[in-house]
Structures are given as C-alpha cells and as structure tokens.
Amino acid sequence: CVVSVTNVPPPHSTIRPGSPVPVNTNNPGVRKAARFGVYRYNNSSNDLFLFKESRIKKAMVQIVRGLKYMLHVEIKRTVCEKRDHSSLDSCHFQREKNLQRMLRCYFEVWITPWTHKIHIPVAQC
C-alpha cells in the first residue's frame, strides 16, 4: 500500500510537527485514510452489509512519525453483503428505504509510509 506524502510541509514551513492542520477532504491521502477507517468499522460491526464512506466532512492531518489523519466521515450502508467480501469500490449505496442507514464517524488513522504501517487508534460511529 503506497501512501502519498504530499501533505508533509517543506522544512522551512511554519507548520511544526505535532500541530494538526486542516487538509482538503478530496486529498488522495485523506480519501485513502477514510477508507481504512471504514474497513476498521466494517470489521467490527455486526451488520450484514458493508458500509462505505459517502462524505468526508472534515479532515485534519498531524505530522507525527508519519501522518495522523483525524477525519469526520459520513458512512452509508451498501448493497454488498459482508460474507461476499466485495471490493468497496464496486459497492453501491442501498436504495431500499428500509435498508438505508447513515452513520457519522470519527476516525483517527495513523499512516507511516516508510514502514507501510497503518494504525487506527480511534473509529467511533
């Protein structure tokens, strides 16, 4: 898993390591981090269906031995059943009214690109 490190400020930047800064919710690193948060949620939920991120409402990144993303994400139930282990990219959101469900989540996703490690200390929905 390769993670872009385009958010790391240049050495002369006024951003100090350790201070969280807002980052665009369309940033590829943010989107990837949100997906990791969703995987974590899906692995711990009892729902029959997989959930997928529908909207990233707010994103912050903190540079601390890698990139720590703090994300406020809305996730929705898809039509894909967990037991099928589908790729989330091909899972569409539920259209049936009684099966639709949206959750507001807060994820902290810590990515250290040089070790290819991803740690998700917080996944609250």
Angstrom CA distances, 23 to 50, 57, 63, 82, 85, stand at: 27, 11, 12, 31, 31
Domain containing 84: what range? 20-124
Look at residue 110 and tell me if it is in a domain. Answer: yes
CATH number, position 63 = 3.10.450.10
Look at residue 6 and tell me if it is in a domain. Answer: no
Report pLDDT digits (tens) over 10-47. 444 455 567 899 999 999 999 999 999 999 999 999 99
pLDDT recorded at residue 47: 96
Look at residue 1 and tell me if it is in a domain. Answer: no
Number of domains in the chain: 1
pLDDT recorded at residue 85: 75
Look at residue 51 and tell me if it is in a domain. Answer: yes
Full-model pTM: 0.83
Q: What is the mean pLDDT of the chain?
A: 88
Look at residue 109 and tell me if it is in a domain. Answer: yes
